[in-house]
Amino acid sequence: MSIATLYLHMKKAYVLLLMLTLFSVSCIKGNPSDIPTEGETNPPSTIKLSMVDKNATTQTKALYSQLWAIQSKGFMFGHHDDLWYGRKWYNKPEGSDTKDVCGDYPAVFGVDFAEIMDDRCLTSTSQAENAIRKRCILEARSRGEVILACCHLNNPLTDGDAWDNSNNKVVKEILTEGSATNIRFKTWLDRLAIFAAELKDDKGNLIPIIFRPFHEHTQTWSWWGQSCTTKEEFIGLWKFTVNYLRDTKGVHQFIYAISPQMDVPKTKDDFLFRWPGDDYVDFIGMDCYHGLNPSTFTTNLNAISTVSKEKMKPCGVTETGVEGFKDSDYWTKQILTPATGQAVSMIVMWRNKYDPQETGTHYYSVFQGHPSVSNFIKMYNSPISLFSKDLPDMYKMADGITIN
């Protein structure tokens, strides 16, 4: 038996023991008035959630219900591009830095849709990479994992990259019907709709995606950020994108996630910066690059959990990590401890750049040989950290939840 397999068995045994303990406690504790008398029943209450897309596919609604339900059990561990490349490997089917360390895949696979959409998709390099993206999404879904997609879209007005904030007219032009930028941006959304329609599981069902366009809009560096847009323009851009994909292109497999950047201690009101409206947001995300400061992370997890409960929308950490970290206790100190007792569905680490010669330090998660390997396994063994093999059927409706 390999070490990774042994750890997995230990984790499952620990979880089973915990469940049996909780069950036994529930049998001997409780208020007698809570026990129905003969002939009486206490029907379980039903939680009602609402989605942006009322015509969302059955599996998309099911995933949404599970995102809410799983928050009471723990957090799904995720890693951006984990199935595509790692620190020392590239495009290896079933590859994963995470699996190399703990024997299990992340529960959430993060991916970027930008090169599927903007004009980079016309190059042979991007076409080859987009084929890999598709393969990884299909692979993740085949194991029952969750797919989370961001978009570092190029600037459709200036032809600059996502961080080209040199012109504050770009969103205004996108929203001007018939303008060259408007037509170009629609073409980009058309490409996304085509790609989404090709994402099907082994039974032919469309694969649900947690889609987070225009992430980190609270910052200034992107062309959709606060230095280039007014509040009205950003909200208009968000609604235009949702309406076009959902109503014009008939894309019904997206869960729409907003993800402000929260690097310093924030309150719940900060999460509502340029809020597009409850009818246009499904999932409340947070990109949190707070450094080695677990108290900040704890504060922001408290805040996002509060907003989640008030809005009745699931939430999660859509990006986090420390570039080039070397701390041997990173996972228990910086991730597990702050997450304990919180109600967040996921914590997703940013990517490990493919760098086989290790000439740089652009990595945000564990890999073989990193000093935090044993500590990562300790986090993995926690009953509140959920990896691929820990997941329930994320594409089956959760008990006691209905979706409007």
Catalytic residues: 216, 319
Amino acid at 360: G
Report d(CA 218, CA 273) in Å as an integer: 7
Six-digit token string for 323: 């570039």
- For 389, phi then psi, to 5°, come to -75, -10
Distance of alpha carbon 80 from alpha carbon 323, whole angstroms: 13
Q: Which two tokens stand for residue 218?
A: 């609270």
Q: What would the two tokens of residue 314 be?
A: 């699931």
How buried is 37 (Cβ within 10 angstroms: 0-12 exposed, 13-18 middle, 19+ buried)?
Answer: exposed
Distances in whole angstroms, Cα of residue 135 to Cα of each of 28, 78, 91: 50, 18, 10
Phi, psi of 92 (to 5 degrees): -115, 115
Q: What is the largest CA-CA distance in the chain?
A: 73
Q: Is 396 helix (H, G, I), strand (E, B) or coil?
A: coil
Strands (E), 183-309: 209-212, 254-258, 283-288
Torsion angle of C-alpha atoms 134, 362, 160, 128, degrees rounded to 10: -30
280: DSSP letter:
G
Q: What is the DSSP string of 97-123?
A: HHHHHHSS--SEEEEE-HHHHSGGGGS
Query: H helices of 217-293, where?
Result: 231-243
Helix 124-142 to helix 180-198 angle (10° resolution) is 40
